[in-house]
Structure 1
């Protein structure tokens, strides 16, 4: 499902948000529901709508959208009189408009077209597969000049292709295979690399399975050829010995699993070609035991040292997603919030308000100009407001003793509150200059200090200070969310996970 949605994002010029979408979507507590999709789009500030549309209004829908088709999330593209429907496992196919309308339940998800950015040339080394192909091709070209005869060159090419396919098999085992190769693995109902490679029948021992054999065989073979071309005959002989394993693999796929692994068939084909070359090429079979032993002593330990690290990394990623999913559970978040003293008095305090004043989600920050952690808190709070599509407002006040005239930062708070009264359109810039740009005290006062201050400014600071004392807030920053203490286990940017639930909770209940 995620691949289909990522493709839809790309169509609408949200290429840079594809990876962010995947991480947020997979860790959503309601994954893989429609709500998880729309909520994740909201978190990424992508305007979207999910609705049930009357089938008569189908012509009015955009040229591409997501739909529930045959009870599955499908990417739909309108093309003249035909409809292209694409599912993650089944790929793309064309259906008639009538056939689509009969199997469509009317539910669509559509997003607003993003701004098309000028495409930059991607570095070839961005893709590990492209990098691997370049390395193997370079090795082939270098070695080709030293080899005798086209058959030897062809044989070496077969081995390098085997290395590439072996890496793809390992990636499939690790669940990291993506893109065109992944589609090839599942281009029909009878093909599934995943089902075959991860089958229990693919296990040989506790520490060895069939996915290990290709990477070991072809990597060892490649290194042996690099060392000495005469090892080709030996490798072809070993390919002959692998024929029973190939037959077992084919029987397993056809009779037991009833699924074909395209990558496995590719490896089998290469081994059969190499086995045939053993009988075709008239060359003496030599056993260079020293080079064979040296290569095995290098490659086997490297693989079995690196393999658990790769699998552990994937396992940790899965656990991390589960932990994030738990952390993003609103019930957990809400249970960690604490009540404050005198909530009504808090609402009556004069404060700085930033963003949509009618937003139902209110993040309150209690700051001090001398607190370095307050710089980060304000910056994160302002970023949340700017990215929340007017769904969050930021409220700021200060915890500062107005009777301490020796505090050099007192004049900053007095000036900020005065600016809030006289020039509210400048308040964000004034606070940002201090907390985000971190201007020096002298520079900030030169730019923003208010020479004339209203008599009520000191009283406002006193009321804020006293309210903080009543709640034993003798530290800054203090973070409140909708008048409840923000859990210390969460960061401000994580509020975006709960905006929908917070809005829903504050909706009036109609009786």
Structure 2
């Protein structure tokens, strides 16, 4: 399923999105798509909406158009549809080609791409330096030759990245979309089905090696003219092989391949007619061999590294799809005996009659409890009508120091005397600062002396149930399975809420 335009519009990390979408237990359903958007920070609500109500929809929404998740934008009386490619449909065409599924979304800051480092600015800077150097220090023919080498490097890099699931708008614009009679376009047929494999490298990978080597050698023209000429003449073999495969084997022509061939022919003509024949130098030959060996090794290294990463992601996606299966999670959740807490009111927030009641057994001074509290508090915020939360601190006065006793008293005072939001704010502030004085300022900056016996009784219940280590999640009395990460709870909340038998 292809929805590149939609992912680009929402500014999502494509690889991360596809990984999460593929690993969803309901892949490739609309639920999986909606949950993945939520996970990536794009809040959304999904509906099955008859077409008669589509006029009331906002200017932008997501629908399933021609069996593909697509961004739909109203444009006057027509609609712009973005999925694999952009197209314009009138209302009747849109309605006929769409299901009743509609997803309304809200972009947030978290939806921005999470790329650690973008190499393209560095690459463009290197290209600019090479071009400026060529124009200032070399002849116009040599500068054009270097420009063609850089064009070859750029296109080859786009092809290299595309092997590992990255979308290339440049390659896409050159190749175009498949025709009505094609399942894939000509470029994909030639490039992706390339059977060449030398040390794991495809024919397109050798294009990257070749042009990178020429880009470096071109900087030392005319001293390297003899070597450069030799390589351009050898490229005739590659040109002939590529044309043979396209014309007689695959019987279709790849526009990107023809563009690369045009670059090779251009360099061949320039080197043949404009480069002077300098005398052969053993030193230059040796440096050339070392250069090509380094480039070849680097491409093999990154190719292997990215292949391993892709295999790991595929394997993880399969494992996560299994692990995130709700029925499997539920069976693991119900493995242990149910815990019946007598005190369910102390430090309890949210509606009291919700279907899903989550308890978190924690300790204010526990290093791991901060993230655990953040998870359940976010769930409470997202599902205020369906989830309630109880914070069950392990607290034994005899073992606590003065600061801990005062902190618990202050928490109790805030819980008993102030709105629920202020209590949640106090808990959040504590885990952010771990500063008892800042919590005390929330109660007026004076020592409190609250009755903490309910907290002591609650701690005894925790101890009797064997809940001594923190943090622990308890869902409707069942201890959260140890084999699941705490963060995984977000994948099961919707089904827990809808499960009438739980």
State the partner residue of 2:131. 140
Q: How does 1:355-374 map to 2 (within 5 A)?
A: 355-374=350-369
**In 2, Cα distance between the equivalents of 1:257 and 1:347?**
73
Does the alignment pair 1:476 with 2:476? no
Structure 1 pair 262–333 and aligned structure 2 pair: CA distance change class (3 A): farther
Structure 1 pair 70–318 and aligned structure 2 pair: CA distance change class (3 A): same
Matched position secondary structure for 2:490:
helix
Does the alignment pair 1:453 with 2:450? yes
**Offset, 1:232:** 3.7
**TM-score, length-normalised on structure 1?**
0.82
Matched position secondary structure for 2:224:
helix
Does the alignment pair 1:505 with 2:496? no
Structure 1 pair 38–236 and aligned structure 2 pair: CA distance change class (3 A): same
Structure 1 pair 22–379 and aligned structure 2 pair: CA distance change class (3 A): same
Q: How does 1:320-399 map to 2 (within 5 A)?
A: 320-337=316-333, 343=339, 345-346=340-341, 348-387=343-382, 391-399=386-394
Matched position secondary structure for 1:211:
helix
Structure 1 pair 19–146 and aligned structure 2 pair: CA distance change class (3 A): same
Matched position secondary structure for 1:472:
coil
State the partner residue of 2:423. 427
State the partner residue of 1:225. 218
**TM-score, length-normalised on structure 2?**
0.84
Matched position secondary structure for 1:133:
helix
**In 1, Cα distance between the equivalents of 2:469 and 2:424?**
23
Q: Which ranges of structure 1 fall in alignment gaps of 5 or more residues?
A: 10-14
**In 2, Cα distance between the equivalents of 1:178 and 1:394?**
46
Matched position secondary structure for 1:277:
helix
Q: What is the aligned counterpart of 1:155 among 124, 140, 145?
A: 145
Does the alignment pair 1:128 with 2:122? no
State the partner residue of 2:62. 66
State the partner residue of 1:12. none
Q: How does 1:87-486 map to 2 (within 5 A)?
A: 87-88=83-84, 91-112=85-106, 114=107, 127-148=118-139, 150-189=140-179, 191-203=185-197, 205-232=198-225, 234-258=227-251, 260-281=253-274, 283-284=276-277, 286-305=279-298, 306-307=301-302, 308-337=304-333, 343=339, 345-346=340-341, 348-387=343-382, 391-402=386-397, 409-425=404-420, 426-440=422-436, 444-445=439-440, 448=443, 451-454=448-451, 457-458=452-453, 460-486=454-480
State the partner residue of 1:35. 31
CA deviation vs aligned residue, 1:249-272 (integer Å, no higher than 9, x gap): 233234433554443222111011
Q: Which moved more, 1:399-408 or 1:293-302?
A: 399-408
**In 2, Cα distance between the equivalents of 1:64 and 1:446?**
46
Matched position secondary structure for 2:433:
coil
Q: Which ranges of structure 2 fall in alignment gaps of 5 or more residues?
A: none
CA deviation vs aligned residue, 1:379-426 (integer Å, no higher than 9, x gap): 443344335566543211222235658775244334433432333433
Cα RMSD, aligned residues only = 3.5
1:65–1:75 contact (8 Å) kept in structure 2? yes
2:246–2:252 contact (8 Å) kept in structure 1? yes
**In 2, Cα distance between the equivalents of 1:444 and 1:293?**
71
